[in-house]
Structures are given as structure tokens and as C-alpha cells.
Amino acid sequence: MLMPILQVNSEDIPEFVIVCGDPKRAELISRKLDGAKELAFSREYRTFVGTYEGVEVGVTSHGVGSPGAAVCFEELIRAGAKTLIRVGTAGSYQADTPAGSLVVSTAAIRTDGLTKQLVPDGFPAVADSAVVEALYESALSLGEGVVRKGMTVTLDVFFNGVEEFPHPKYKAAGALGVEMEISALYVVAALRGVRAGAIVAIDGFADADLAAEYDPNTNVVSDAVEREIHAALIAVAKLAKQG
């Protein structure tokens, strides 16, 4: 069956799929796979398949923001995906988690608009515990940089308007960082009965002046992205062996 938005056939999608925002990052991840081939490039959704340590793995980009990302997650699940792992970037809330750190998201604070239209206010956005542990152990095994696990915030807004960002209160509450899609991933996964997790590379501090300080294109960040990709693939191999 052809998925109308992703433009992939359901028989081509494996049980394990790594998702990311940037189509270029999807291609980067695919280069780590054996026998990788591109299935489709429709809108922001670019899909590859290949194998890693003998495990079939899909890679799909989902673009920026929860609504479009949720379309990607829904169609991947309808096509047969059973475990989704987001590999992305985030802004840090904590001084001990600087640019270049890796954060495994155990749960997402839902400040996005999409999930409010899917589930009631009290519904949590929580990662699968086995996926979290596989990601965390895999990231630690690489032996480089700061690796943390904890809550992240999913926020729709990137550039500020007249309303204040909610960063200070979530920082005070202990959230590790902020990004734009994880809550959608966790809620959709819960609704559809599949597993999900996420690992993000920190690309700066969320409360920095974007115009003056934000630069996600440094070597420190690109090295962290390489590590998180490696960690996600190792985690997939671990999870596949666990059955």
C-alpha cells in the first residue's frame, strides 16, 4: 500500500525507523547503513532503507514542527514501523549540558499545539523505557562528551514575538532542553501502540540571544550529531537482539 504523503510502499518499511528533521541528515544517516537505497523524497519527507549489523533500518526526515512530523510518524506506523527513534538537535536549559552534549529524552513537556488536539491535557508524552535505556547505554559506550537523560520540552515557537518564552520556568523545573517534535512522537506512538524514543544533540543554550549567539553549524555540534547517529544505530541493534 502506498502512503499518500511519504510516497513509500508499506512493504518497504521495516520495524525500526530512525526519524530526523533535516532531509540532509536522513541522507547522512543512510550512509552508515549497508545496502542503503532511497525510497522517496516527497516534500520534507525523505526516506531511505538499509541494514545495520544485519538489522533492517528505515530513515525518514520529518521537517520542522510537530504537525508535519506527526504526519510522518502516523504514516510510518501505518506502513508497519514498530519502533521509532528521533535523532535531532535541541537547545539546552542547563549549564552542565553545553553545546556538544547528548540528551536522551525520557518524556516531553507538551507545550505544542498539536498534541492538545490529540489527547487531554493531563495525558503524558513518555518514551518507551527499553528504547530510553538502549539509547542511553549506547551513547555512554561511545565514551565522549556529556550524556544525560531526562525531560525535554516540545515548543512550537522558535523566534520570539510579543509573548515571553516559557524557558525560565521549565529550566527551574529541571527540564534539560527544548526542541519541536518529541511530544508529537511520544503521543502518536502511545496512541498507535508502538515504541518511541529520542536522542538530541545540544546545539546551544535555549535562552541565548539567537541573533548574537546561536550557531548550530559548529564542529562541536556536528561531532555530537555524528555521535547521536552512532548511538541510535547501536541502540537499534540492541533492541533487535532483545526481540
Residues marked active site are found at: 203
Provide the residue type at 30 as one letter. S
Burial bucket for residue 5 (CB in 10 Å: 0-12, 13-18, 19+): middle
Kindly state the helix (H) or strand (E) to which residue 130 belongs, with its residue range. helix 129-141
> Is 66 strand, coil or helix?
helix
Provide the residue type at 158 as one letter. F
Distance CA 192, CA 163 (A): 34
| 167 alpha carbon, distance to own chain's centre | 20
Kindly state the helix (H) or strand (E) to which residue 113 belongs, with its residue range. none
Tell me the C-alpha to C-alpha distance, in Å, between residue 81 and each of 57, 73, 85: 10, 9, 11
Question: Which regions of the chain does DSSP assign to beta strands (E)?
Answer: 16-20, 34-42, 45-52, 55-61, 83-92, 102-110, 125-126, 147-154, 177-179, 195-205
